[in-house]
Amino acid sequence: MESDKSRSYLMSLLALLISVGIFLAFGEVVTRILKLDESTRLVMINPEGILDFKGLHQISDDPQRVYELRPGARLELDSGSRHALYAINSLGFRDEEFPEEKPEGVFRILMLGDSMTFGPAMNLGQTYPKVLEELLNESAEAGLRFQVINAGVSGYNTYQELATWCNVGVALDPDLVIVGFCVNDVDDPRRHVDAHTLETLGGLPEEMIPNPGGVGGEDTLSSTLQESPGEEARGRLPIPFKGFLREHSAFYSFLVRRYDALLKTLGIRDPIQGELRQQYQEMDAKLASYDTVEWQWLAKQWDDFESLSEKTGVPWAVVLLPWQYQLQRSGPPVPEERLSDYAHERGTFYVDPRPVLSEAKVSGLFVDMAHFSEEGHRLVAESLYQALRGSDLLVSP
């Protein structure tokens, strides 16, 4: 009798294991066919392809810009959930066609930046430069028209943006230059160029890389990256072979991301976890002190912007373009405070839209962890508009 009972238990266990195996195998096949693991991935390069700009970029004859937007290029994003047209004009900007020579009665603003300014997954009119243009023209005096040129290029950093103004923008005779600043401007640019053009570029100019030798301020970085063990452990399940599954199973990755999303929705887990948190903390550490190599690199770029402004007589300004984590972190916003203090000490006109963005539902402001949604672009434009209207920078030409 005991033997029959044991056999029955073994058969039930075997049937359970076979059922679980079939379920996992079926889930793996379906996940890979439908690419479900990619559709839930929280990464900078959105799986829908919003940053796949290979058809838009070309190697630049200007060694300082390195690469640029290809005049006349067109690329259509149609992922099912998002639709946008990326069209590059004959002057090499993501903008409407306009004459290089500034027409009379036009106040021209050159907006420099990276993909956050370019506007992945957005149509041109939804990007913050063009929303700002619309707001300015709605309140413009009779006989005056504002033109805001979207000169954003995905993957650019401050070095390339300076080169764009110096080597291309000066000929456009702008009345104001605004630089969109992101924390990854001081990151290793090879991380951001890789996705679309690095394979054909070869090496990058050393001046373009904030820290060619590695991370500056190593002690600061190490202390900053210390993470509370409880944060990462909250809600974790004791799953065996996690490393193997994470490496080889798309179905496991899909389930983990859905589980994480549920815990974040319920408020059990911090919305920023794991590798993303480490990447963000690394970027924060690079701007946490004026002594880091990255900060010294940025200071030089801003000095060069100031020199070019004095040489051309064109004022310039900086607008902070925060990533989603910068509106969600629980600790003090040290990098943002450093940037603001530094700009004010130098007399640089600086706009920080975080107070306005923080009043909205943060998740609704981004299409992924690093790029604004239509609502995010609108609020940044409104912050810029209010700051500019209260300044003396909008002087009629």
pLDDT band at 247 (very low <50, low <70, confident <90, very high): low
Q: Which of 336, 334, 332 is nearest to 322 (CA)?
A: 336
Three-state secondary structure string covering 12-30 = HHHHHHHHHHHHHHHHHHH
Q: What is the arithmetic mean of pLDDT over 290-297?
A: 94
Q: Strands 57-59, 349-351: parallel, antiparallel or unpaired by DSSP?
A: unpaired
Residue 238, pLDDT above cutoff 80:
no
Gap between the Cα atoms of 216 and 80, Å rounded? 43
Q: In the chain, count of helices (H) and strands (E)?
A: 16, 11
By percentage, how much of the chain surpasses pLDDT 90? Answer: 51
pLDDT band at 133 (very low <50, low <70, confident <90, very high): very high
Gap between the Cα atoms of 146 and 106, Å rounded? 6
Residue 161, pLDDT above cutoff 80:
yes
130 and 86 part of one domain: yes
- Does residue 324 lie within any of the structural domains? yes
Three-state secondary structure string covering 260-328 = HHHHHHCCCCCCCCHHHHHHHHHHHHHCCCCCCHHHHHHHHHHHHHHHHHHHHCCCEEEEECCCHHHHC
- Does residue 148 lie within any of the structural domains? yes
CB 374 within 8 A of CB 126: yes
Residue 325, pLDDT above cutoff 70:
yes
pLDDT of residue 83: 83
Q: What is the arithmetic mean of pLDDT over 198-213?
A: 78
The domain of 17 spans 2-34
Q: Which of 394, 351, 380, 391 is nearest to 130 (CA)?
A: 380
Beta bridge partners of 349: 317
283 and 371 part of one domain: yes
380 and 291 part of one domain: yes
pTM equals: 0.76
302 and 376 part of one domain: yes
- Does residue 176 lie within any of the structural domains? yes
Q: Which of 230, 236, 232, 227 is nearest to 331 (CA)?
A: 227
State phi, psi for 57 to the nearest 5 degrees: -100, 155
pLDDT band at 368 (very low <50, low <70, confident <90, very high): confident
By percentage, how much of the chain surpasses pLDDT 70? Answer: 76
Residue 168, pLDDT above cutoff 70:
yes
Residue 232, pLDDT above cutoff 50:
no
pLDDT of residue 321: 97
The domain that holds 338 is classified in CATH as 3.40.50.1110
CB 254 within 8 A of CB 37: yes
Per mean pLDDT, which range of 61-75, 185-199, 302-316, 367-381 is the poorest? Answer: 185-199
The vertex-304 CA angle with 59 and 191, nearest 5°, equals 40
25 and 72 part of one domain: no
Strand (E) or helix (H) holding 57? strand 57-59
208 and 339 part of one domain: yes
7 and 141 part of one domain: no
Gap between the Cα atoms of 240 and 224, Å rounded? 30
Q: Which of 358, 301, 296, 293 is nearest to 324 (CA)?
A: 358
Residue 265, pLDDT above cutoff 80:
no
Outline where 168-292 has alpha helix (H). 190-193, 198-201, 218-224, 229-233, 242-248, 250-265, 274-286
Give the tens place of pLDDT for each residue, 79-129: 666 788 999 999 999 999 999 999 999 999 999 999 999 999 999 999 999
Gap between the Cα atoms of 281 and 289, Å rounded? 13
110 and 149 part of one domain: yes
16 and 143 part of one domain: no
pLDDT of residue 276: 63
pLDDT of residue 268: 52
143 and 14 part of one domain: no
The number of folded domains in the chain is 2
DSSP 138-159: HTPPTT-EEEEEEEE-TT--HH
13 and 94 part of one domain: no
pLDDT of residue 36: 61
Gap between the Cα atoms of 88 and 72, Å rounded? 5
Q: What is the arithmetic mean of pLDDT over 380-390?
A: 97
CB 202 within 8 A of CB 193: no
Residue 253, pLDDT above cutoff 50:
yes
pLDDT band at 257 (very low <50, low <70, confident <90, very high): low
Give the chain's mean pLDDT.
82
- Does residue 48 lie within any of the structural domains? no
16 and 145 part of one domain: no
- Does residue 245 lie within any of the structural domains? no
Per mean pLDDT, which range of 81-95, 228-242, 249-263, 307-321 is the poorest? Answer: 228-242
Per mean pLDDT, which range of 144-158, 336-350, 356-370 is the poorest? Answer: 356-370
